[in-house]
Amino acid sequence: MKNRKFLLLFALLLSLGMVLAACGNSGDESSNEKENSGDDASGEEASSDFSAAMVTDVGGVDDKSFNQSAWEGLQAWGEEHSLTKGNGFDYAQSDDKSQYMPNLTRLVKQKYNLIFGIGFKLKEDITKVAKQYPDTHFAIVDDVVEQPNVASITFKEHQGSFLVGVAAAKKTQSNKVGFVGGVDSPLINKFEAGFRAGVKSVNPDIEVEVQYAESFGAADKGKLIASNMYNNGIDVIYHASGATGNGVFAQAKDIKQNNPDKDVWVIGVDRDQYEEGQIDDYNVTLTSMVKRVDIAVQDLANKSMNGEFPGGEVLEYGLEDDAVSVAMTNEEAMTDDIVKAVEEWKEKIVNGEVEVPKTRDELKAFIEAL
């Protein structure tokens, strides 16, 4: 009797244990399902949460030129997607080339999906950091980095420079014009070659003086070079020198302020620099060779966000894309005959009738063939 009661009790306890175990397993499975569901949800959120940032060259985001145009493009992209600075897009300021790599690395660690390096001087560091962080997407503006996670943005600056060369040749009264470059490099040589070709195409007898400041952030040096050029009879200066060009504008405005009857002109670069030339009721900015870095940055950010990042590709923007152009803001200075000449030469370039030189060697051959 006692044995039977014991067996019944044992069977009851065994059954109860099996029920509890089943309930426990059911609870674990439910918990796992919730966990997995949570992982999937966070994964979806991460894939739609895209961010982009940029590292400036030494000119900074307020250089009134190249870096500023890139930053304006990134800001426009952020506003387009209701993002704010520091929460979706941002920039890292470089005051010296030694800061390129630390800035790039910091943005990678802050988990930005796309990081722009603004300017050819960042090429070496973009190459290094792209190899170190293959899962991050990078872009370089104005040079080419051959890495699968880097998109290279380039422009046909020589084409736009040719056209402002045409404008300079039509505007000069002294038959002497100048070119102020930032750093003597293949990129800025494109601006120089195109400009000189445009000038010579209008009038081979016009003198073109060329000087390089060897800096994109030395306004004082730009002012000194411009002072010497204007004193030597040059009346139109085209600068491709970033913030160094601020000094060129400053010198032209000083001259105009001291002698309102003297005509001196500056041709801006990268963005429409009309405002930089304003002095009282007069403006010394003849025109600008506008390079739409802002549009290129915004375009690439959108492509990347949509899963269409062109890694390893070179994107080139030119006259045919309206990515380089000649500013017509100063309507008084850009007279009808200048505008007409610019449009005629633009059509020749776009149609392939004129091949604009990109190097000094190509320029030499181009001039010899005139």
Q: CA–CA distance from 166 to each of 65, 137, 171, 347 (Å)?
A: 22, 39, 9, 13
User: What's the domain range around 208?
Assistant: 157-290+335-368
Q: Are residues 125 and 201 located together in one domain of the fold? A: no
Q: Are residues 133 and 196 located together in one domain of the fold? A: no
Domain-embedded: residue 222: yes
- DSSP for 193-227 reads HHHHHHHHHH-TT-EEEEEE-S-SS-HHHHHHHHH
pLDDT tens for 217-241 read 999 999 999 999 999 999 999 999 9
pLDDT tens for 268-310 read 999 999 999 999 899 999 999 999 999 999 999 999 999 999 9
Domain-embedded: residue 2: no
Q: Are residues 227 and 94 located together in one domain of the fold? A: no
CB 107 within 8 A of CB 55: yes
Per-residue pLDDT at 344: 98
Number of structural domains the chain divides into: 2
Per-residue pLDDT at 59: 82
Per-residue pLDDT at 26: 38
Per-residue pLDDT at 48: 55
Those residues of the chain that have pLDDT short of 70 are 1-48
Q: Say how far apart CA 127 and CA 349 lie, in whole Å.
A: 34
Domain-embedded: residue 304: no
Among 155, 185, 210, the domain-final residue is 155
